[in-house]
Amino acid sequence: MKQVTHTPDLDQLAEFQIFHELPEEAIRLFSDQFQYKEATDGDILIKEGDPGDSLFLLLEGEVEVTQALTFVMTKKPGPDSREKAIIRLNHRMHPFFGEMSIFAEEDTRTANIRAVTKCLLAEIHRDDFFRVTHEQPDIGLQVTENITRVLVDRLKKTNNDVVKLTTALALILEQ
């Protein structure tokens, strides 16, 4: 990814769930902290297991989210690189990702995110994010609540997927 100059469209940013119900001037506080990045088809934006300390908004383009299928459990040479596609996200969905690394010190990324098309992203680092939220606690609370809602929805979906997978495994093992 390469850093680019970009003038933020506050109306576009207001469409992201992270900024739900925030006035334009509050969104501007965050957009002033963004670094804008451009990626081309095939670029890895986030690599599972790498250290992370930033959140991304997908402003243009499409990405694919994948996770490793296996854990490192053997001493075989070379890592197992099989992956499972989790979801494709496009800018019309107004997705953000990397948010877990904002709240956990020395966190590692939990998935791979690869550009499927040319993408424009806005990135905000943990220190910049918390500078805004600490200087403006009311805005910080609203943004944190918005992120929490999205995380809760994602956790519910994940829990549902785990139930389905364990049920399918149990049925297979019964045969």
At 81 the pLDDT is 63
Can you name the residues that pair with 93 across neighbouring β-strands? none
How far apart (Å, rounded) are the C-alpha atoms in residues 126 and 65? 22
Backbone φ and ψ of 86, nearest 5°: -95, -50
C-alpha dist (Å) from residue 19 to 57, 58, 134, 140: 11, 14, 16, 10
Q: In a structure prediction context, what are the per-residue pLDDT tens digits for the chain, which is 175 residues long?
A: 899 999 989 999 999 999 999 999 999 999 999 999 999 999 999 999 899 999 999 999 999 999 887 655 555 555 556 777 888 999 999 999 999 888 887 788 989 999 999 999 999 999 999 999 999 999 999 999 999 999 888 788 878 878 888 888 888 888 8
Fold (topology level) of 2-174: Jelly Rolls (2.60.120)
Token pair belonging to 100: 């877990």
At 125 the pLDDT is 96
Can you name the residues that pair with 62 across neighbouring β-strands? 90
Tell me the whole-structure pTM to 2 decimals. Answer: 0.83
Token pair belonging to 159: 């829990």
Residue 13 neighbours by CB distance under 10 Å? 21
Helix locations, 56-136, DSSP H: 100-103, 126-135
At 56 the pLDDT is 97
Strand, coil or helix: what is 44?
strand
Q: Which string of DSSP letters, residue by residue, matches 53-78?
A: -EEEEEEESEEEEEEESS---S--SS
Report whether 97 contacts 75 (CB < 8 A): no
At 97 the pLDDT is 93
At 70 the pLDDT is 65
Residues contacting 80, CB < 8 A, separation 6+: 68, 69, 70, 72
Residue spans per domain, the chain = 2-174
